A and B are shown apart, each in its own frame.
Chain A
Amino acid sequence: MTLDTHQPTPAPAEDYLKVTGFSKFYGETCAVRDVSLGVREGELLALLGPSGSGKSTLLMAIAGFEAPSSGDITIAGRSLVELPPHRRGIGMVFQRYALFPHMTVAENIAYPLRRRNMARREIAQRVQEALELVRLDAFGARLPTQLSGGQQQRVALARALVFQPGLLLLDEPLGALDRKLRQEMQTELKQIHQRVGTTMILVTHDQEEALSLADRIAVLDGGRIQQFGTPAELYDSPANAFVADFIGESNLIPAKRMGADGTSVSVKLNGTDIVVSVPQANICAAPSDDSLLLGARPEDIALSPSASETGAVVVQTNYLGAMLNVLLELGPYQIRARIPARLGTGLTAGQSVEIGFTPEASRLYTAT
């Protein structure tokens, strides 16, 4: 992969779970291709990607429900591949909860403890603790159908944590909840993670959720890891155009390489006269690539009034309180900018403005 330079390479000793060279084929189709990643003990890792990117496939392989076509998965240095799911000791929370409908909440939570032949008294105590952890102490005797969605979600979490697994997998755990409940549960999940300190892998296609919850994020697309890093790394220095657009918002404008000196590369935006000089550190494309994409976040674009007819034209402004969203037309492109509201008081639709791309905040990607 060409992206290795952007991946932090943690010391191997630190990794609790390690996936190396993992691929999964379904017949001819490839769901996941040559994925390697490591999760440190106590870390909350998010697998983020659009639908069909292979997140569930990777998770199912770690849990033991799918055998890898190639590659290895180890926990604390021990390979899991030969172990059946029930001997891996990995907790899992399913998107649709998968609570046993014929058992009460307490029986659901006791299930993994019973499978481990724990003493009755101990089971009762652990179940009680788990219920308290998810603030459902009074609900032990209910059946899962008698709970609301958020409550069922918490039971699923309690059940997956009660046997103190070394690793907890969560497949879109909040996907079935409405927006408000989702945010509440995110907070709660984060608190629980801090309290129990279990290593967790969270699958999601919601970038906000990943950014706010995860210690590190692996962005997947088309079965490959696009970038692996902390939320700040992903947001501030996306490794490619896909990540730039998927995490937060980016303007991606086709550009041509004009020239380079030792510290920067200058490009001209196609169809305009605008030339931007991008520092070497912000270049995510091979030197041989001439067709590039200039990436700039809306908040990194500066606007100033202009008299010339060659600049950009304001199409629409959208007042957000402190900030102002401005949609512009620059030649054939639509550009989104976000400026402090007080700087944009005079802007109206149809007005010509000069666009400024902050060089330090602009990045160059290979055009796809």
Chain B
Amino acid sequence: METAAPSNPRRIRAIAPVIVWMVLPALVIFGAVYLVPLAKLVAASFFRDGALTLSNHLDLIGSASFRDIVLRTFKMAVVVTFFTLLLGYPAAYFLSRLAPRRAALLLLLVTVPYLTSILIRSYAWIVLLGPTGLINRSLLWVGIVDEPVRLMFNMTGAYIGMVQIQLPLMIFALYAPMQRIDRTLLNAAQSLGGNRASAFFQVFLPLSLPGVLGGSTLVFLSSLGFYVTPALLGGTGDYMIAQAIQVRVSNLADYDAASAQGTLLLLVVVLAFVLLRRRLTDGISESAAPAATGQRVGNGLRTERMPEAVAQRLHPFFRALSEVLTWLRLPALYLAMAFCLLYLVAPMVVVVVLAFSDAAYLTFPPPDYSLRWFRAFFSDQRWLSALWFSTLCAGLAAVLSTLIAAPAAFALVRRRFPGRLTLYLLLISPLVVPRIIIGVAVLFAFVPLGISGTPIGFILAYALVGVPFVVVLFVTGLRRFDRDLEMAAAGLGATPARVLSTVTLPLLVPTIVSALLFAFIAGFDDVELGLFISGPNATPLPIRMLENIRLEISPQIAVVGTLLFAALIGVFGLHLGVSRLRGLRRRFAKKMILSGTPPRPGAERGAKP
């Protein structure tokens, strides 16, 4: 309640401890398994053989091979960002023009790959890009090439895989702001004399730039810390920073160099994070809504200068060009959208088909179909125990992260306290801090406690990476929540606890469910943390899959992928079914109101979700 306004000292004293209790659990866990270990990592980079020194950093900067690695990593992040933007922009533009209902369906096709494990998607690319893979065979068959092209185990492979993996993120980041752009501005521009293409370049493009900036930052930062895809699809010599750090820690036990590399990478990410904090805290800053509308007004006014601007800027040549673009616009858009969907969905299809292969080795398309790999999966104790371990740990971690992050989100949205924005940035930061670094930090934290390689360790680590999702979802959900309902309940005699249990929580069920789901997936799909903290009795599914991919590339992984896929589709189906049911009820109700007859009470209650 806004009663927290600092007008009444008596109230403040009563409320302050409540805030503390709301944010304390999250702070304690973040401090113990994240902040303190990260600080230790940074501190360790300044020591060698127990002495304070800069030599770790200087050695690194002086080392030619490290410079290569840094350059390669940055180049990779830039290239990946560029291509995701190139593909994602037209796709997001296309989606933003559709009616929300239709867009939702296509967005689902973008979401499902997004939620599919990166490991499985990388595996699918191995199948597609190999010398006898689908792509090479098609090229040979069409006759474009005479012998298979090397598409894999070099940078090309890494790029193809990474762009596919980052594309959904870019589309989401672009879609939301594009959808908010006032379409009448485009019509206005056209009515003032510009053709469609010039209206787009003069009006739509500038208005969509904030989304471009946000999406590019997100993709760039998360590409910097990528591990799995470059490791599986890249060449043996093409190390990225994340791989370099992992090898230092796991294979060479060279903690000094690893912490120095980690510190440098962390520095870059934290700097970018701090520079872009305004953009990132939009969700909870109060001025968010007015700022957005103000911006729209400001830009809307600019259209008044359109005729002049159009006349002056459009040199005849550009006019001709923009006429051509106007013509090509629709076909080009459809083509871009179709390509994006194919690019996103093809790997999924390959995985599902491959799971039913009858071959003893990996070949696509399979010569024959059977369930032999499913049988192999369900009769292999190692697979089953890895699946059980992952499900258990990710499940408990999802519950834990929701329990600690939801109250913190309540405090962030509903109370004003010093350090509020900092807390928000801290809680969402595991989203952008490279997983490899979190992995090293968590390892540093767990070894002294003796919980590395135990389920407890995994639950804590998974909870850590689940928290950002819970926070973001709850902040969104709570901002949309109608506070009048809670006031009404209190006015009708409900104690604060009763208000929470009878009104707030029941209405937040959708938020809670998606928070649990996303937090679960964050842990369940994790590879990087597992690389560091898994042990003989604690092997999660992704680590088991990684081993399998490295040892023998068999259709076994496709079975795992298909099973996870089926689970995901199941969850979506359930969600869709529930909302469909609600839609039916609403239509039914409307008819009732119009005809004035009360519905049968029995039917009413029965349909309640």
Q: Do A and B come from one complex?
A: yes
Within the complex, which residue of B492, B592, B605 is in contact with A111, where a contact is CB–CB below 8 Å?
B492
A residues in contact with B604, CB < 8 Å: 104, 141-143
Beta-carbon contact of A98 and B598 below 8 Å: no
**From A24, which residue of chain B is reached at the shortest CB distance?**
B7
| Residues A67 and B7 in contact in the complex (CB < 8 Å), given A86-B494, A90-B491, A111-B492 | yes
| Residues A141 and B601 in contact in the complex (CB < 8 Å), given A92-B488, A92-B491, A101-B507 | yes
A287 touches B (CB below 8 Å): no
Within the complex, which residue of A26, A91, A100, A140 is in contact with B503, where a contact is CB–CB below 8 Å?
A100
**From B591, which residue of chain A is reached at the shortest CB distance?**
A146
Tell me which of B7, B11, B496, B506 has the highest count of chain A C-beta atoms within 10 A of its own C-beta: B7
What is the CA–CA distance of A360 and B485 in the complex, to the nearest angstrom? Answer: 51
B residues in contact with A223, CB < 8 Å: none
Chain A, residues 54-68, CB within 8 Å of chain B (1/0): the string is 000000000111111
Beta-carbon contact of A98 and B488 below 8 Å: yes
Beta-carbon contact of A145 and B586 below 8 Å: yes
Beta-carbon contact of A26 and B490 below 8 Å: no
B1 touches A (CB below 8 Å): yes
Beta-carbon contact of A26 and B7 below 8 Å: yes
A263 touches B (CB below 8 Å): no
Beta-carbon contact of B487 and A85 below 8 Å: yes
What is the CA–CA distance of A163 and B494 in the complex, to the nearest angstrom? Answer: 13
Q: In the complex, what's the smallest C-beta–C-beta distance from A124 to chain B, in angstroms?
A: 13
| Residues A115 and B507 in contact in the complex (CB < 8 Å), given A86-B491, A141-B601 | no
A residues in contact with B598, CB < 8 Å: 138-139, 141-142
Q: In the complex, what's the smallest C-beta–C-beta distance from B371 to chain A, in angstroms?
A: 44
**From B6, which residue of chain A is reached at the shortest CB distance?**
A27
For B, the interface residue count at a CB cutoff of 8 angstroms equals: 39
What is the CA–CA distance of A159 and B418 in the complex, to the nearest angstrom? Answer: 39
A173 touches B (CB below 8 Å): no
Beta-carbon contact of B489 and A100 below 8 Å: yes
B278 touches A (CB below 8 Å): no
What is the CA–CA distance of A160 and B490 in the complex, to the nearest angstrom? Answer: 12
A residues in contact with B590, CB < 8 Å: 146
Beta-carbon contact of A115 and B492 below 8 Å: yes
Beta-carbon contact of B589 and A67 below 8 Å: no
Find residues 28-86 in chain A having any chain B CB closer than 8 Å to their own CB. Answer: 63-69, 84-86
Beta-carbon contact of B589 and A98 below 8 Å: no
What is the CA–CA distance of A85 and B502 in the complex, to the nearest angstrom? Answer: 16
Chain B, residues 1-23, CB within 8 Å of chain A (1/0): the string is 11101111011000000000000
What is the CA–CA distance of A141 and B588 in the complex, to the nearest angstrom? Answer: 14
Q: In the complex, what's the smallest C-beta–C-beta distance from B236 to chain A, in angstroms?
A: 57
What is the CA–CA distance of A146 and B597 in the complex, to the nearest angstrom? Answer: 12
What is the CA–CA distance of A181 and B489 in the complex, to the nearest angstrom? Answer: 27
Beta-carbon contact of B7 and A65 below 8 Å: no
Beta-carbon contact of B589 and A116 below 8 Å: no
| Residues A143 and B491 in contact in the complex (CB < 8 Å), given A100-B503, A104-B604 | no
What is the CA–CA distance of A88 and B485 in the complex, to the nearest angstrom? Answer: 17
What is the CA–CA distance of A308 and B496 in the complex, to the nearest angstrom? Answer: 74
Beta-carbon contact of B586 and A67 below 8 Å: no
A residues in contact with B138, CB < 8 Å: none
| Residues A94 and B487 in contact in the complex (CB < 8 Å), given A69-B8, A141-B599, A146-B589 | yes
B residues in contact with A96, CB < 8 Å: 482, 484
A147 touches B (CB below 8 Å): yes
Beta-carbon contact of A115 and B494 below 8 Å: yes
B498 touches A (CB below 8 Å): yes
B-side binding surface: helix, strand, loop or mixed? helix
B493 touches A (CB below 8 Å): yes
A342 touches B (CB below 8 Å): no
Q: In the complex, what's the smallest C-beta–C-beta distance from B583 to chain A, in angstroms?
A: 12
B593 touches A (CB below 8 Å): yes
A331 touches B (CB below 8 Å): no
**From B484, which residue of chain A is reached at the shortest CB distance?**
A98
A121 touches B (CB below 8 Å): no
B residues in contact with A88, CB < 8 Å: 491
A25 touches B (CB below 8 Å): yes
A residues in contact with B503, CB < 8 Å: 100
B residues in contact with A166, CB < 8 Å: none
A89 touches B (CB below 8 Å): yes
Within the complex, which residue of A98, A148, A160 is in contact with B485, where a contact is CB–CB below 8 Å?
A98
B495 touches A (CB below 8 Å): yes
Tell me which of A63, A86, A94, A138 has the highest count of chain B C-beta atoms within 10 A of its own C-beta: A86
Chain A, residues 123-160, CB within 8 Å of chain B (1/0): the string is 00000000000000011111101111000000000011
Within the complex, which residue of B1, B8, B482 is in contact with A98, where a contact is CB–CB below 8 Å?
B482
Q: In the complex, what's the smallest C-beta–C-beta distance from B456 to chain A, in angstroms?
A: 37
A residues in contact with B485, CB < 8 Å: 98, 100-101
What is the CA–CA distance of A110 and B482 in the complex, to the nearest angstrom? Answer: 21
What is the CA–CA distance of A34 and B585 in the complex, to the nearest angstrom? Answer: 51
Q: In the complex, what's the smallest C-beta–C-beta distance from B478 to chain A, in angstroms?
A: 16
Q: In the complex, what's the smallest C-beta–C-beta distance from B13 to chain A, in angstroms?
A: 12
Beta-carbon contact of A86 and B487 below 8 Å: no
Beta-carbon contact of B493 and A102 below 8 Å: no
Chain B, residues 468-493, CB within 8 Å of chain A (1/0): the string is 00000000000000101101111111
A residues in contact with B490, CB < 8 Å: 64-65, 84-86
A residues in contact with B498, CB < 8 Å: 86, 115
What is the CA–CA distance of A67 and B8 in the complex, to the nearest angstrom? Answer: 7
Beta-carbon contact of B484 and A86 below 8 Å: no
Q: In the complex, what's the smallest C-beta–C-beta distance from B246 to chain A, in angstroms?
A: 48
**From B503, which residue of chain A is reached at the shortest CB distance?**
A100
**From A146, which residue of chain B is reached at the shortest CB distance?**
B589
What is the CA–CA distance of A88 and B490 in the complex, to the nearest angstrom? Answer: 9
B residues in contact with A25, CB < 8 Å: 7
A298 touches B (CB below 8 Å): no
Tell me which of B10, B491, B496, B592 has the highest count of chain A C-beta atoms within 10 A of its own C-beta: B491
What is the CA–CA distance of A68 and B8 in the complex, to the nearest angstrom? Answer: 8
Beta-carbon contact of A102 and B506 below 8 Å: yes
Q: In the complex, what's the smallest C-beta–C-beta distance from A58 to chain B, in angstroms?
A: 15
What is the CA–CA distance of A27 and B8 in the complex, to the nearest angstrom? Answer: 10
Find residues 165-223 in chain B having any chain A CB closer than 8 Å to their own CB. Answer: none
Within the complex, which residue of A89, A99, A138 is in contact with B493, where a contact is CB–CB below 8 Å?
A89
A238 touches B (CB below 8 Å): no
A311 touches B (CB below 8 Å): no
A residues in contact with B8, CB < 8 Å: 67-69
**From B598, which residue of chain A is reached at the shortest CB distance?**
A138
A residues in contact with B494, CB < 8 Å: 86, 111, 115
Find residues 105-123 in chain A having any chain B CB closer than 8 Å to their own CB. Answer: 111-112, 115-116
B residues in contact with A66, CB < 8 Å: 2-3
What is the CA–CA distance of A100 and B498 in the complex, to the nearest angstrom? Answer: 14
B residues in contact with A148, CB < 8 Å: 593
Find residues 160-218 in chain A having any chain B CB closer than 8 Å to their own CB. Answer: 160, 163
Q: In the complex, what's the smallest C-beta–C-beta distance from A94 to chain B, in angstroms?
A: 5
Beta-carbon contact of B1 and A65 below 8 Å: yes
Q: In the complex, what's the smallest C-beta–C-beta distance from A97 to chain B, in angstroms?
A: 8
Q: In the complex, what's the smallest C-beta–C-beta distance from B462 to chain A, in angstroms?
A: 31
Q: In the complex, what's the smallest C-beta–C-beta distance from A256 to chain B, in angstroms?
A: 44
What is the CA–CA distance of A132 and B507 in the complex, to the nearest angstrom? Answer: 28
B residues in contact with A84, CB < 8 Å: 490, 496
Q: In the complex, what's the smallest C-beta–C-beta distance from B607 to chain A, in angstroms?
A: 10
Q: In the complex, what's the smallest C-beta–C-beta distance from B146 to chain A, in angstroms?
A: 66
**From B594, which residue of chain A is reached at the shortest CB distance?**
A148
B residues in contact with A69, CB < 8 Å: 7-8
Top-9 shortest CB links A-B: A146-B589, A112-B492, A115-B493, A141-B601, A98-B484, A98-B488, A138-B598, A85-B490, A92-B491
| A67-B8, A94-B484 given; 19 more Cβ-contact pairs under 8 Å | A24-B7, A67-B7, A68-B8, A87-B493, A94-B488, A98-B485, A99-B488, A111-B489, A111-B492, A111-B502, A115-B493, A116-B493, A140-B601, A142-B589, A142-B592, A142-B604, A143-B589, A148-B593, A159-B492
A-B contact pairs, 25 of them (CB 8 A): A64-B490, A65-B3, A65-B487, A66-B3, A67-B10, A69-B7, A85-B487, A86-B494, A86-B496, A86-B498, A87-B493, A90-B491, A91-B492, A94-B487, A98-B484, A100-B503, A111-B489, A115-B493, A141-B598, A141-B604, A142-B592, A142-B599, A145-B589, A146-B589, A159-B492
